[in-house]
Structure 1
Amino acid sequence: MSTMQLYPADEALTRNERIVFNLYVASVLLVFVLMMLLGLTMRLAQSTWLGVPLDVFYRVMTAHGAGMVGTIGLASSVVMWFFLRKYVKLTLAIFAANYVLFILGAVALLAAVFIGGYAGAWTFLYPLPVHSMNVWSPHAAALFMLGYLLIGVGFLLFYLDAMWAIIRVYGNLGRALGLQWLFGGEIDKSHPKAVVASTMVAITNSIGVLAGAVVLVMCLINIYFPSVGLNALLVKNLTYLFGHMFINASIYMGVIAVYEMLPRYSGRPYPISRPFLWSWASSLVMVLIVYPHHLMMDYAMPFWMLVMGQIISYCAGLPVFTVTVYGALTNVYRSGMRWRMPSSLLMLSMFGWAAGIIPAIIDGTISVNRVMHNTQWVPGHFHFYLLLGVLPMVLALMFHVIGQRTPARASDKLGFPLYVFGGLVFVFAFLAAGHESTPRRFAVHLPQWLPYDQAGAIGAALLITAMLVFAVQILVGLLRSPGHADPARVTG
């Protein structure tokens, strides 16, 4: 019996699933808006349009970085859960536990920052957390790390449940990835792309989260037992393996929305293929070994790792990116697709991912990295593919679920172009400033850098306005949607 027969492609949410889904969506939207406001605060402070004390600026920077990365991960996990549950039997209680642990972790992070005064950035790099020059206490640093640990445990539970559910249906993770078809044989066209992507994410980010858990426990021990010294280079490697994997997994979870939803709106099949399977299999390996490109300025690193990071930087993002964007464009071309909010957001996500990866690859070149890595070029590239790539994937699912089946409303016509325009102004202000060597993580800027800061602040304000429009539409739509709404019937 095929998987499709075992678990019909029915997206209808049960009452309990609807409750958990609504909690995720409402929390994600609330935290996104809050984190965006913190980001705007920083840009206003750097542009001298708002007076912010220096210690407060770095607290805001710490909360914004940690909160935004965690929330984009939580949002993308909703995408993975929503579509994967059609093909395998996931445990709703574990998905709910992931939510509870995330909320507890987020509260710990915010308390550490805004009550305890922790301002050591999301990286918590040793030995900074315990050598704060009395700006914050060791307890504040420990609370921050505990918050991360709680969030990581929640995600690990979710991934383990996903892998166990996949194994129960497909026998093993290799078959779920489609490895049996890499070198020949007739591919089962009904094999879901969502299962392939979810399997890859569950494997790789489980490793990343475990690396994060190890380094967090090491740092927590060091805080309260300073005699237990740590190897700073090892700590940094584990930290960036964790951080790099987490943010990449967010992209790969989000892209499941493209595979599952785009055919609904284009009215065309989007079947699996051998290049698709090869791209995900190769990315599984490369995404785990590319993180040394974050450490090219650490000359104590083994030389072969820096070479590997350089080479894989050019290769890691291309397989999945290429087959996804090419597949999306060919699926839409001359399809006569009716442009609704979900389909518009999905195509925006392809642009954001494609354009955002270019400055990332440029920065991955050692000769460029030596000059550009500690400039605003870096927040420029990751804001590009997060705000205009991953977040639109998540928003597309949210609009899909509330049933965007009616003609576009005035708020749609306002919100979408405002989001795109504000997002482009915001990210290009970062990239242009980075090109002029404006440093990142500086609260005070020189006069010649202020025009970029001011343009970025204007872009951020426009972006937040559009996000508020989206949030209101989605939340009202969730309240109005029937308890067993089934967006599977949507064809655009």
Structure 2
Amino acid sequence: MTTAHTPQAGAVKLTMILSGAVFALMMIFGLAMRAAQAQWIELDPAIFYQLLTAHGAGMVGTAALSGAAILWYFCGRHLTLSAGIFWAFLGLFLLGVVLILSAIFLGGFGGAWTFLFPLPANSGGAWGPAAAAAFMLGYTSIGVGFLLYYLELGRRIRARYGNLTRALGWSLILGKADDDVPPPTIIAATSVTIFNSIGIVLGAAVLVASLVHLLVPGFEVNALLAKNLIYFFGHVFINASIYMAVTAVYEILPEYTGRPWKSNRVFAIAWNVVLIFVMAVYWHHLLQDVVMPPWMLVVGQLVSYFSGIPLIAVTAFSTFLYIRGSKMTWDLASSLLVLSVAGWSIGSIPASIDGMISVNKVMHNTMWVPGHFHTYLLLGEVAMAFGFMAWLVRGKAISEMVGLDRVAFYTYLAGASGFILVFLFSGAASIPRRWAVHYEDWLTHDRIGTAFGALVVMGTLLFVLRFVARLGRSDG
């Protein structure tokens, strides 16, 4: 059985059940919003923005949770990790979820996942200070849980490899002899541990400052600085979820190709470049903030161009080489994992286009933006998570994808592809994002998007139900 040699598989499986259930719920929220924009159902605008807040925070948080479970599982093959730390991480995460959902659906908070200062404290009566505080305390609880998680990973990596530079593969980069080269999963884990810890600490700083402002309105925070910290945190955090989940590709695909995925100099260089680029590129989220120093915006645009190179040159190209001529069996797990690499790579194209200052001026507040990040999520990280789930309960035998597995895969693929394309075409047509009510001229886009969204939900439900049903029949 695929899971027998890895410790803490039970905790990881529970986490993936929770992740799958929340993915499905958040997608249903998204479907409801698209149906409301299509005028197929009625939603009060206040409810729409509460759903928008829950959907954004929930999808990002669950992508990170599933990515963390995947990384923990595969790091457990190479490191001795504390089960208590993982349970503490999961407990703090779930506490954060309860606080966030209470803030939204009991307190009426609808300020979006970005909690931009000073919006939480200035709602115009839409929600009270308690709801805003609960929302930000929920984020803080999740952040503390992730810091515990990364401290444990960093501690165990350092104990195993002596220092973080060696774990990042610097011996490979410098051409030094090393009898204990870290595997791809450890190089990826070290890079993510460093940059996401920095991002979470800076996010916590602005959360604490915003909480103090709620309690002491006279305490002022520079709004531009707060926005920079929030978007640094947000950009790094969502990218970390994909960079954690991609370890499933490194660890699982070799079972299908019969070729080990080994670390080499190019791989190590790419992950060290990712460590820098993922923190420098966030400025492309602020291209419309004309008060930003121009050099930062220029750097944001340039790094946007180059940030896709490590991904395409290493993971995507390597995946193609591993598959080519391997005669691999295309079951649900392998199909989803290969799809995830393709979707992640394709998603870098509309992201880079939006990262151009001249394009960003007219496209950033349109449906183009949810188009590009839904590509990263639906065809990238979420597909990785579902591929990992399918592999966990695959059993010893590998057989071609048939029956409900085939139906689920192609339903999800068709739904996600169509849903994303409608977003991109809507952005090209200058349809704005984040509007609860749409004009008559936009309804065709909305209704086609809603139909594709329903297919995504159907495929997701089949994946999750399949996973739960097969858990009882697995040996690991």
Q: Which position in structure 1 is the counterpart of 2:145?
A: 154
> Is residue 10 of structure 2 the alignment partner of residue 19 of structure 1?
yes
> Is residue 167 of structure 2 the alignment partner of residue 176 of structure 1?
yes
> Is residue 422 of structure 2 the alignment partner of residue 429 of structure 1?
yes
CA distance in 2, matches of 1:44, 1:366: 32
Cα deviation for residue 320 of structure 1 reads 3.1
Q: Give the unaligned 5+ runs of structure 1.
A: 1-8, 486-492
Give the direction of change, closer, same or farther, for the CA distance of 1:241–1:88 in structure 2 (3 Å limit). same
SS of 1:132's equivalent?
Answer: coil
Q: Which position in structure 2 is the counterpart of 1:140?
A: 131
> Is residue 195 of structure 2 the alignment partner of residue 204 of structure 1?
yes
Q: Which position in structure 2 is the counterpart of 1:229?
A: 220
Q: Would you say the 8 A contact 1:415–1:467 is kept in 2?
A: yes
Q: Would you say the 8 A contact 1:276–1:320 is kept in 2?
A: no
> Is residue 278 of structure 2 the alignment partner of residue 304 of structure 1?
no
Give the direction of change, closer, same or farther, for the CA distance of 1:284–1:199 in structure 2 (3 Å limit). same
Q: Which position in structure 2 is the counterpart of 1:467?
A: 460
Moved more, 263-272 or 232-241: 263-272
Cα deviation for residue 317 of structure 1 reads 2.8
CA distance in 2, matches of 1:387, 1:207: 26
CA distance in 2, matches of 1:206, 1:283: 15
TM-score by length of 1: 0.94
Q: Which position in structure 1 is the counterpart of 2:70?
A: 79
> Is residue 314 of structure 2 the alignment partner of residue 323 of structure 1?
yes
Cα deviation for residue 127 of structure 1 reads 1.1
Q: Which position in structure 1 is the counterpart of 2:451?
A: 458
Cα deviation for residue 22 of structure 1 reads 2.6
Cα deviation for residue 373 of structure 1 reads 0.4
Q: Which position in structure 2 is the counterpart of 1:442?
A: 435
Q: Which position in structure 1 is the counterpart of 2:122?
A: 131
CA distance in 1, matches of 2:313, 2:248: 16
Give the direction of change, closer, same or farther, for the CA distance of 1:327–1:186 in structure 2 (3 Å limit). farther
Q: Would you say the 8 A contact 1:377–1:431 is kept in 2?
A: yes
Moved more, 351-360 or 310-319: 310-319
Post-superposition CA distance 1:453-480 (Å, at most 9, x none): 1111111100110111111110111122
Q: Would you say the 8 A contact 2:332–2:390 is kept in 1?
A: yes
> Is residue 275 of structure 2 the alignment partner of residue 284 of structure 1?
yes
> Paired residues, what number?
473
Cα deviation for residue 188 of structure 1 reads 5.3
Q: Would you say the 8 A contact 1:187–1:274 is kept in 2?
A: no
- Whichever residue aligns with residue 358 of structure 1, its letter is I
CA distance in 2, matches of 1:416, 1:190: 37
| Runs of 4+ with >4 A deviation | 186-190
Moved more, 180-189 or 223-232: 180-189
CA distance in 1, matches of 2:3, 2:20: 25
Q: Would you say the 8 A contact 1:241–1:288 is kept in 2?
A: yes
SS of 2:472's equivalent?
Answer: helix
SS of 1:316's equivalent?
Answer: helix
Q: Which position in structure 2 is the counterpart of 1:5?
A: none
CA distance in 1, matches of 2:424, 2:308: 20
SS of 1:129's equivalent?
Answer: helix
Q: Would you say the 8 A contact 2:6–2:77 is kept in 1?
A: no
% identity of equivalent residues: 47
- Whichever residue aligns with residue 355 of structure 2, its letter is G
Post-superposition CA distance 1:232-285 (Å, at most 9, x none): 011001000100000010110011111111111111222221111110111111
Match of 1:245 among 236, 248, 257: 236
SS of 1:317's equivalent?
Answer: helix
Match of 2:364 among 364, 373, 381: 373
Match of 1:57 among 37, 48, 51: 48
Moved more, 245-254 or 392-401: 392-401
Match of 2:404 among 391, 411, 417: 411
Q: Would you say the 8 A contact 1:112–1:144 is kept in 2?
A: yes
Q: Which position in structure 2 is the counterpart of 1:480?
A: 473
| Within-5 A mapping of 1:264-279 | 264-279=255-270
- Whichever residue aligns with residue 247 of structure 2, its letter is I
Cα deviation for residue 11 of structure 1 reads 5.3
CA distance in 1, matches of 2:434, 2:266: 41
CA distance in 2, matches of 1:303, 1:409: 54
Match of 2:36 among 30, 45, 48: 45
Match of 1:90 among 81, 96, 102: 81
Moved more, 448-457 or 201-210: 448-457
Moved more, 281-290 or 362-371: 281-290
SS of 1:49's equivalent?
Answer: coil
Cα deviation for residue 190 of structure 1 reads 5.4
Match of 1:164 among 138, 155, 158: 155
- Whichever residue aligns with residue 413 of structure 1, its letter is R
Cα deviation for residue 306 of structure 1 reads 1.1
- Whichever residue aligns with residue 97 of structure 2, its letter is A
CA distance in 1, matches of 2:3, 2:416: 34
Cα deviation for residue 385 of structure 1 reads 1.3
- Whichever residue aligns with residue 95 of structure 1, its letter is F
Q: Which position in structure 1 is the counterpart of 2:375?
A: 384
RMSD over aligned CA atoms reads 1.4
TM-score by length of 2: 0.97
> Is residue 176 of structure 2 the alignment partner of residue 215 of structure 1?
no
Q: Would you say the 8 A contact 1:90–1:162 is kept in 2?
A: yes
CA distance in 2, matches of 1:22, 1:270: 24
Post-superposition CA distance 1:380-408 (Å, at most 9, x none): 00001110011111111111111253533
Q: Which position in structure 2 is the counterpart of 1:4?
A: none
Give the direction of change, closer, same or farther, for the CA distance of 1:184–1:190 in structure 2 (3 Å limit). closer
Match of 1:261 among 252, 267, 287: 252
CA distance in 2, matches of 1:291, 1:384: 18
Moved more, 446-455 or 380-389: 446-455
Q: Would you say the 8 A contact 2:68–2:241 is kept in 1?
A: yes
